[in-house]
Structure 1
């Protein structure tokens, strides 16, 4: 192994830059050359490839987003596009590839691995929706972003005696809603893994209203339903004015947390070690505080288990 490549694909996540830095510097420390591929699989197919050195990753550990950029690629989903990408990798002398992203990124990596390219996948998604690992890069930072938003909404909601439905990202995974809701002290948390009990939420708002509570925060994961309809039903049933805040892509930005920087550094260094050992088709993760390695196929097929204990605990703490 003389030269490795690194690319970021899919949605960006805080900590990607810290991971790129770790990959580049670990590679150079081990005597390898590194090439950065700009804008994911699309950039690979269009040969947007740059040489990277120690200076090219200076002062990026604290920056959100990804200095390599990210993009979707319909062409790469075709076999013809994959062979085109492999040909470019071979022409550039890239013998191993580290890919940062989520489920879709991993599936693409698995396909080119079957065609002879050594690949290592690193999970980067604020949704924390990959079942084989306890944590994905970006999740910790996104939770912090949502918790900060909850605090700000509580201030203004208390001033006006309002309720507020806060919609967060997560697609079909409720981890971001659950963890930020607990950390932010939300009154109710609505996730796709548990059927929504709107009557229970309404009753909780009414109970709070009776004891003089001035704010009511309801966290809703985006995969559940229409947050505006939920807010309207709460307002109509309780008489409490209820606003909606959709955080959207603000959750993907910002300075990565210390936890994400450390996780990203650890995963990046481990990826380089695996390529040096001529390993391939492996996804890096973390379980019970330890770095783990799984086949990419196993990683994408492992179903995410929702933490029902934390969910039930949140209901006890929000009475």
Structure 2
């Protein structure tokens, strides 16, 4: 394999640039030409492809977002779209592809691999919801962004003696809410992995109020319900003055943490090694602090493991 491509797809995450940089420079180190595909699969279909040199990925490791940009592409989900994508890749002499993104990006990569075009997936998503890897690129940065917001909101909650409900991202996974809630000292954490118990939450709020607690923080993952809906439910049950903060896309931006820069570098470099050595259809991840590669289909058929011991601990510490 003498020529490979790299693209980022789906939602951006801090550390994607580190992965792009690593993939490009690792390939060049092995005397392999690298082509950047701009705007994900949409750009692939449009032929928005250009060769990248080592200098083209300089000074991006500290930047959030993705140098290659990203976009959604419904057309690529069709067989005709996938065939056109392969035609574009062959037109540019590209023999393999590194795909950096989440679940949808992996499905596109697997579709190309099944059509005979080798792809390797790199997990880039703040949601940390890809089965087969303990951590995804961007999770740590988003986590720290949320914690910083919790700390600031708690100052206001204390000053005005209010209950704040903070809605965080994560899609159908509760990792962001769980880790941020524990690190931020939240009194209640609601995640999709645990059935919502309204009575338990109200009981905890009332117990806190009886022992003199004048404010509290509730973290709700978007996969459970909206913060506004939860606020309405609480106000119908107990007399507490509540305020809502929906952090939104601020969680996806910002300069990546050192951990995400290292993770992106490790994953991007390993992806090139795996692509050069095999037929594709592999995904890169981290298990027990070791970088691994595994069958990409596990990302669709497996289940993401949430550390429920953290949830138990959070309830014990927020009495």
Does TM-score exceed 0.5, indicating one fold? yes
Partner of 1:95: 95
Q: 1:130 offset after TM fit, Å?
A: 1.1
Partner of 2:275: 275
**Is 2:78 the partner of 1:82?**
no
Query: 3-state DSSP class of the match of 2:165?
Result: strand
Partner of 1:28: 28
Asked if structure 2 preserves the Cα contact closer than 8 Å seen for 1:169 and 1:221, the reply is: yes
Rounded Cα–Cα distance in structure 2 between residues aligned with 1:255 and 1:215: 32
Q: Which range is displaced more, 192-201 or 93-102?
A: 192-201
Partner of 2:70: 70
Rounded Cα–Cα distance in structure 2 between residues aligned with 1:273 and 1:18: 16
Partner deviation per Cα, 1:112-142 (whole Å, 9 max, x = no partner): 1111211110011111111211111111111
Q: 1:236 offset after TM fit, Å?
A: 4.3
**Is 2:261 the partner of 1:261?**
yes
Superposed structure 1 runs of 4+ greater than 4 Å apart: none
Partner of 2:116: 116
Q: 1:233 offset after TM fit, Å?
A: 3.1
Partner of 2:18: 18
Partner deviation per Cα, 1:8-54 (whole Å, 9 max, x = no partner): 00111110001001011111111111110000000000000121111
Q: 1:240 offset after TM fit, Å?
A: 2.1
Q: 1:299 offset after TM fit, Å?
A: 2.3
Q: Which range is displaced more, 234-243 or 122-131?
A: 234-243
Query: 3-state DSSP class of the match of 2:106?
Result: helix
Q: 1:212 offset after TM fit, Å?
A: 2.7
Asked if structure 1 preserves the Cα contact closer than 8 Å seen for 2:220 and 2:226, the reply is: no
Q: Which range is displaced more, 142-151 or 198-207?
A: 198-207
Q: Which range is displaced more, 205-214 or 281-290?
A: 205-214
Partner of 1:185: 185
Rounded Cα–Cα distance in structure 1 between residues aligned with 2:272 and 2:132: 20
Asked if structure 1 preserves the Cα contact closer than 8 Å seen for 2:131 and 2:298, the reply is: no
Aligned length: 319
TM-score normalized by the length of structure 2 = 0.97
**Is 2:214 the partner of 1:205?**
no
Unaligned 5+ runs, structure 2: none
Rounded Cα–Cα distance in structure 2 between residues aligned with 1:2 and 1:210: 69
Rounded Cα–Cα distance in structure 2 between residues aligned with 1:94 and 1:214: 62
Asked if structure 2 preserves the Cα contact closer than 8 Å seen for 1:161 and 1:240, the reply is: no
Q: How does 1:1-319 map to 2 (within 5 A)?
A: 1-319=1-319
Q: 1:192 offset after TM fit, Å?
A: 0.9
Query: 3-state DSSP class of the match of 1:305?
Result: coil
Rounded Cα–Cα distance in structure 2 between residues aligned with 1:38 and 1:162: 46
Query: 3-state DSSP class of the match of 2:196?
Result: coil
Rounded Cα–Cα distance in structure 2 between residues aligned with 1:79 and 1:236: 50
Unaligned 5+ runs, structure 1: none
Q: 1:214 offset after TM fit, Å?
A: 3.0
Q: 1:260 offset after TM fit, Å?
A: 0.7
Rounded Cα–Cα distance in structure 1 between residues aligned with 2:172 and 2:40: 24
Q: 1:238 offset after TM fit, Å?
A: 3.5
Rounded Cα–Cα distance in structure 2 between residues aligned with 1:171 and 1:275: 29
TM-score normalized by the length of structure 1 = 0.97
Query: 3-state DSSP class of the match of 1:225?
Result: coil
Asked if structure 1 preserves the Cα contact closer than 8 Å seen for 2:167 and 2:226, the reply is: no
